[in-house]
């Protein structure tokens, strides 16, 4: 059977990268005693699928995992078995049974929404964002490859700041397989260091 788990990633787990997160889930299933399915072949791999890689240091309340089990079990039983063996920093928010033949998770995500909290006061934040909004192109380099950041920014939404609270921002970025906007790239573009912010992924938007 194929199940879909919505989970959050927080605390120390924020600093666990995509491959290590995959490993954490494999170990969670192994601790649970649930019959996790493995691929065939010389190097069998656990049949787990993560929707969309989360950059290191970012917390989330909307991560999605597909997992294949070797037999069919009632969902509450699965949920119970997983809950008690989760590592700190991972929390299950929801679980569903999915059609075995449903398309791969990664192909279904289109966008992601991030909430950015600025740790320091940035008086000219609006102007900096204005420059991004009005630009036609934002050519950038990442890992020696050139790309245009502008079309990957789908929407920048201001968040009202309460008195004494930190400035915040909501950001919708493209999250398609070959076209993914990264929040830290946008922060760099407006001249703010990633470590002077807290970034949280609020929502993944799927193809309808």
Residues in the site for another protein, rule: CB under 8 A? 11-13, 15-17, 20, 23-24, 26-31, 33, 38, 42-44, 46, 56-57, 85, 87-89, 119, 194-196, 198
What residues does 91 pair with on adjacent strands? 8
- Give the whole-angstrom CA distance, residue 38 versus residue 207: 28
State which residue, 124 or 195, has the beta carbon closest to another protein.
195
State which residue, 67 or 109, has the beta carbon closest to another protein.
67
State which residue, 4 or 89, has the beta carbon closest to another protein.
89
State which residue, 57 or 69, has the beta carbon closest to another protein.
57
Q: What would the two tokens of residue 139 be?
A: 């050519």
State which residue, 44 or 139, has the beta carbon closest to another protein.
44
CB of 24 to another protein, least distance (A): 6
CB of 193 to another protein, least distance (A): 8
- Strand segments, DSSP code E, in the chain are 2-9, 48-50, 59-68, 90-98, 109-118, 139-142, 145-148, 153-159, 168-176, 179-180, 197-206
CB of 60 to another protein, least distance (A): 15
Q: Using the 8-state DSSP alphabet, how is residue 2 labeled? A: E
CB of 203 to another protein, least distance (A): 22
CB of 27 to another protein, least distance (A): 3
- Give the whole-angstrom CA distance, residue 90 versus residue 84: 11
- Give the whole-angstrom CA distance, residue 127 versus residue 171: 16
Q: What would the two tokens of residue 40 be?
A: 């065939």
């Amino acid at each position: 059977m194929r199940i879909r788990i919505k989970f959050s990633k927080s605390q120390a787990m924020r600093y666990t990268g995509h491959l290590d997160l995959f490993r954490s889930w494999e170990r969670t299933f192994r601790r649970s005693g649930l019959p996790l399915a493995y691929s065939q072949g010389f190097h069998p791999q656990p049949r787990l699928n993560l929707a969309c890689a989360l950059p290191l240091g970012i917390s989330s309340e909307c991560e999605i995992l597909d997992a294949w089990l070797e037999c069919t079990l009632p969902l509450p039983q699965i949920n119970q078995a997983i809950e008690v063996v989760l590592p700190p920093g991972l929390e299950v928010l929801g679980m569903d049974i999915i059609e075995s033949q449903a398309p791969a998770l990664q192909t279904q995500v289109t966008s992601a929404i991030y909430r950015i909290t600025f740790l320091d006061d940035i008086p000219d934040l609006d102007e900096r964002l204005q420059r991004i909004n009005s630009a036609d192109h934002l050519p950038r380099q990442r890992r020696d490859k050139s790309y245009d950041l502008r079309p990957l920014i789908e929407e920048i939404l201001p968040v009202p700041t309460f008195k004494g609270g930190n400035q915040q921002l909501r950001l919708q970025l493209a999250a398609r397989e070959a076209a993914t906007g990264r929040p830290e790239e946008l922060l760099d573009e407006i001249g703010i260091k990633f470590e002077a912010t807290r970034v949280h992924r609020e929502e993944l938007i799927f193809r309808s």
